[in-house]
C-alpha cells in the first residue's frame, strides 16, 4: 500500500492517510477472498488490484476534489469501482452504488458493512429503471461510470440521474475522443454538453485512458432513459 500512497500523491495529488490505507487494505483482502469463489473481477493479483482498480479509481479524485459533491451515484459499479474508493477518499459524500448483478451488489454491501461506511446505498437494478424512479431522477450532483457501455449509451444511463448543474464522469480508454464525438447528439438530447477530456496515464499500463466530463445544463426529457435494453440496442446517435 505504500507504493499506492506514493503514486496517488505524485500522480494525482491525493494524500491517503493511515485510516484510508487501512480501509483499502481491507477492501483488497475481501475482494481477493470473494473472488476466489465468486467471479467479481478478472483482476486477481494484489498488485493488479492496486493499480487497475484502486489507482484507476483514485485518478477520478482530482476532478472532484474541489467540486461541491454531496450526492454521487456510481452506475454499473461492479465490485465498487470507482465509487467505494471515492467514498474512502471523500467520506462525507452520500454515495449510491448501482449494478444489475446481485452478486456484485452483495459484495459492495459487504464492504460497506465491513468498513463501517455511513451514507452508502447499494441498489440492484438496471440504470434505465433507476433513472425513471422519482427519488433518483435529477437527484445527484455527480454520476460516475467505468467500462459500462459506449458513451452514447452511457449518457442515457447516467444523465437522467444528474441534476441540472451537475456533472457526469466516464472513465474510458483510447477510444474516448471518438466516442465523445459520436455522443454529441445524445448529450444534446439529454440536456448536457461535453466539458473536457482529461488524459490519464497509469504506471505500467500502455493504453492511454481518459476521464470524460459532461455538464448537465437542462433537465433530461421525461422519455429518457428508455425502457431496459433499448439504449444499448438503439443508441442516440445521428442517423
Rounded-to-integer distance, Cα 194 and Cα 188, Å: 9
In the predicted model, what is the mean pLDDT of the chain?
95
pLDDT tens profile 170-229: 999 999 999 999 999 999 999 999 999 999 999 988 888 999 999 999 999 999 999 999
17-21, 35-39, 133-137, 229-233: range with lowest mean pLDDT: 35-39
Sheet of 94-99, strand order = 120-124, 94-99, 71-75, 140-146, 162-172, 209-216, 192-200
Exposed / middle / buried, residue 68 (Cβ in 10 Å: 0-12, 13-18, 19+) = exposed
Per-residue confidence (pLDDT) for residue 239, from 0 to 100: 64
Q: What is the DSSP letter of 160?
A: G
Cα distances (angstroms) measured from residue 78 to each of 148, 157, 208: 9, 15, 22
- Is a pLDDT exceeding 80 seen at residue 147? no
pTM of the model: 0.96
Per-residue confidence (pLDDT) for residue 38, from 0 to 100: 86
Percentage, residues of the chain above pLDDT 70? 100
Percentage, residues of the chain above pLDDT 90? 86
Per the CB < 8 A criterion, the answer to whether 5 and 23 are in contact is: no
| Bridge partner list, 209 | 200
Per the CB < 8 A criterion, the answer to whether 156 and 148 are in contact is: no
Binned at pLDDT 50, 70 and 90, residue 39 comes out as confident
Per the CB < 8 A criterion, the answer to whether 121 and 93 are in contact is: no
Per-residue confidence (pLDDT) for residue 57, from 0 to 100: 97
- Is a pLDDT exceeding 90 seen at residue 70? yes
Answer CATH for 66-220 from 3.40.50.620, 3.40.50.150, 3.30.365.10, 3.10.400.10: 3.40.50.150
Per the CB < 8 A criterion, the answer to whether 163 and 142 are in contact is: no
Rounded-to-integer distance, Cα 6 and Cα 43, Å: 22
- Is a pLDDT exceeding 90 seen at residue 96? yes
Amino acid at each position: 500500500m505504500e507504493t499506492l500512497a506514493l503514486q496517488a500523491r505524485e500522480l494525482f495529488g491525493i494524500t491517503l492517510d493511515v485510516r484510508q490505507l487501512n480501509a483499502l487494505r481491507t477492501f483488497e483482502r475481501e475482494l481477493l477472498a470473494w473472488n476466489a469463489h465468486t467471479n467479481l473481477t478478472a483482476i486477481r493479483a494484489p498488485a493488479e488490484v492496486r493499480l487497475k482498480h484502486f489507482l484507476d479509481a483514485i485518478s477520478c479524485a482530482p476532478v472532484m476534489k474541489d467540486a461541491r459533491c454531496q450526492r454521487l451515484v456510481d452506475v454499473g459499479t461492479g465490485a465498487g469501482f470507482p465509487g467505494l474508493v471515492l467514498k474512502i477518499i471523500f467520506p462525507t459524500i452520500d454515495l449510491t452504488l448501482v449494478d444489475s448483478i446481485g452478486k456484485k451488489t452483495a459484495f459492495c454491501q459487504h464492504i460497506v458493512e465491513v468498513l463501517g461506511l455511513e451514507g452508502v446505498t447499494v441498489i440492484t437494478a438496471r440504470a434505465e429503471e433507476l433513472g425513471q424512479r422519482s427519488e433518483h431522477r435529477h437527484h445527484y450532483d455527480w454520476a460516475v461510470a467505468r467500462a459500462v457501455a459506449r458513451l452514447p449509451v452511457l449518457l442515457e444511463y447516467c444523465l437522467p440521474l444528474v441534476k441540472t448543474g451537475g456533472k457526469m464522469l466516464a472513465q474510458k480508454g483510447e477510444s474516448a475522443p471518438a466516442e465523445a464525438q459520436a455522443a454529441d447528439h445524445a448529450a444534446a438530447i439529454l440536456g448536457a454538453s461535453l466539458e473536457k477530456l482529461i488524459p490519464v496515464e497509469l504506471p505500467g499500463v500502455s493504453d492511454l485512458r481518459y476521464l470524460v466530463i459532461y455538464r448537465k445544463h437542462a433537465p433530461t426529457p421525461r422519455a429518457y432513459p428508455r425502457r431496459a435494453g433499448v439504449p444499448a440496442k438503439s443508441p442516440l446517435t445521428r442517423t
